[in-house]
């Protein structure tokens, strides 16, 4: 007998998807100027802010789909491509002042360089994963036709 207060997997998936979509709307609203923010406080170009919102929207859509299909693989490819693009931008073009933390025995400049390398490696890995997901989506679509 199921517990009376346990949430069904379908309801949990729906709520999680709605939360992801709602989280994505916030940076999109900032990027498109719907929410008033001081542009000096935003440390990235608006396309990076918009991409961050799109990442959450795609994640919500993938949660709604909740199955292995070519559409889910395609969305996974787009999601990883956005991760890679954002990571590459951080690695190549972001201001060194934006990097904080790091290793205590390295200078601030060395820590910023290390951070750029880490973001760059993450971007390369994300590019590779997106290529795999696009290939998988293409094969799934080709086999179903």
Q: How many CB atoms lie within 10 A of CB 25?
A: 16
Residue 105's φ and ψ, nearest 5 degrees, are: -90, 0
Last residue within a domain, chosen from 30, 49, 66:
66
Q: Are 86 and 144 in the same domain?
A: yes
Query: Whole-prediction pTM value?
Result: 0.84
Q: What is the pLDDT of residue 46?
A: 93
Extract the residue ranges of the chain whose pLDDT is less than 50.
none
DSSP state of 37: -
Which pLDDT belongs to residue 69? 85
Q: 102 with 114: CB under 8 angstroms?
A: yes
Q: Tell me the CA distances in angstroms from 78 to 83, 98, 128, 133, one per residue in order.
A: 9, 26, 12, 9
Listed residues 66, 87, 121: the one ending a domain: 66
Domain range enclosing 124:
69-145
pLDDT of residue 22: 96
Q: Are 48 and 94 in contact (CB under 8 A)?
A: no
| The pLDDT value given to residue 6 | 63
**Domain shared by 6 and 58, yes or no:** yes
Same domain, 38 and 93: no
């Amino acid at each position: 007998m199921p517990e009376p207060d346990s949430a069904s997997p379908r309801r949990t998936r729906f709520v999680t998807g709605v939360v992801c979509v709602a989280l994505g709307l916030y940076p999109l609203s900032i990027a498109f100027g719907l929410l008033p923010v001081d542009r000096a406080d935003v440390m990235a170009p608006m396309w990076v802010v918009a991409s961050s919102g799109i990442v959450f929207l795609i994640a919500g859509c993938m949660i709604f789909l909740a199955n292995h299909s070519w559409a889910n693989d395609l969305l996974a490819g787009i999601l990883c491509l956005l991760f890679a693009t954002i990571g590459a931008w951080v690695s190549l073009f972001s201001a060194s002042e934006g990097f904080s933390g790091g290793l205590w025995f390295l200078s601030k400049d060395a820590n910023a360089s290390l951070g750029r390398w880490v973001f760059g490696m993450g971007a390369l890995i994300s590019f590779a994963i997106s290529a795999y997901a696009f290939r998988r989506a293409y094969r799934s679509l080709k086999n179903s036709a």
